[in-house]
């Protein structure tokens, strides 16, 4: 039987509280993936201090809009439901934009628009709505995947949010891109 009294340095899973604390120079207290109250306070203080020095907005003159890539809508789902016939409304996955922004950019609901981010660009249909604040636009989740048609070809509807997101703007600890805050540019097409 092996002795349990020998102390070994614990290794921690990426994203655990101890990993995050070790990254900022705090010693780990053991192999548990749970944080003690003092560790959680220390981590919260570290995050708050980092945010104080962060820019209040990542939008720029080149990318002045905030794109919420992956908005939940009435007829969107995860990527497993690919049959476009399932979506009874907004079948094309329209870009939602405020009336104020649409008028300023010359974007209309009967024409397409181009969404450009640091990661990519896509042409989309447009929905002008009072649900969006000026400076903010959104695209739905669950689109941009191929669906096999009856003749054996493939049909793609909408835009995959991952095509427009970049790891440049991401959560510091988890590394997850900020899908709900993607700096973007919107242009009228045709």
Does residue 48 sit in the same domain as residue 99? no
In the chain, how many domains are there? 2
Instruction: Say what the pTM is.
Output: 0.67
Task: Give the domain-ending residue among 7, 29, 52.
Answer: 52
Q: What is the domain extent for residue 37?
A: 17-52
Name the CA dihedral angle for 55, 65, 84, 79, rounded to a multiple of 10 degrees. -10
* Residue 81 burial by Cβ neighbours in a 10 Å radius (0-12, 13-18, 19+): middle
Does residue 22 sit in the same domain as residue 115? no
Which pLDDT score is estimated for 116? Answer: 97
pLDDT digits (tens, 9 = 90+) for 19-47: 544 554 544 444 555 667 877 787 778 77
Has residue 9 been placed in a domain? no
Residues of the chain short of pLDDT 70, as ranges, are 1-35, 51, 53-56, 74-84, 86-88, 91
Does residue 107 sit in the same domain as residue 166? yes
Q: Strands across the sheet with 113-117, in order?
A: 121-124, 113-117, 182-188, 65-71, 136-140, 95-97, 126-128
């Amino acid at each position: 039987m092996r002795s349990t009294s020998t102390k070994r340095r614990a290794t921690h899973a990426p994203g655990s509280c101890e990993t995050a604390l070790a990254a900022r120079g705090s010693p780990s207290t053991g192999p548990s993936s749970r944080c003690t109250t003092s560790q959680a306070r220390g981590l919260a203080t570290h995050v708050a201090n980092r945010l104080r020095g962060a820019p209040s907005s990542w939008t720029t003159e080149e990318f002045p809009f905030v794109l919420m890539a992956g908005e939940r809508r009435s007829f969107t789902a995860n990527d497993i439901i690919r049959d476009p016939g399932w979506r009874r409304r907004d079948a094309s996955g329209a870009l939602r934009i405020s009336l104020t922004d649409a008028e300023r950019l010359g974007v209309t609901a009967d024409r397409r628009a181009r969404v450009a981010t640091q990661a990519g660009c896509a042409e989309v249909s447009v929905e002008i709505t009072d649900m969006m604040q000026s400076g903010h636009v959104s695209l739905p989740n669950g689109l941009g995947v191929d669906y096999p048609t009856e003749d054996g070809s493939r049909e793609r509807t909408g835009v995959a949010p991952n095509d427009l997101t970049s790891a440049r703007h991401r959560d510091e600890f988890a590394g997850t891109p900020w899908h709900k805050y993607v700096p973007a540019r919107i242009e009228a097409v045709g």
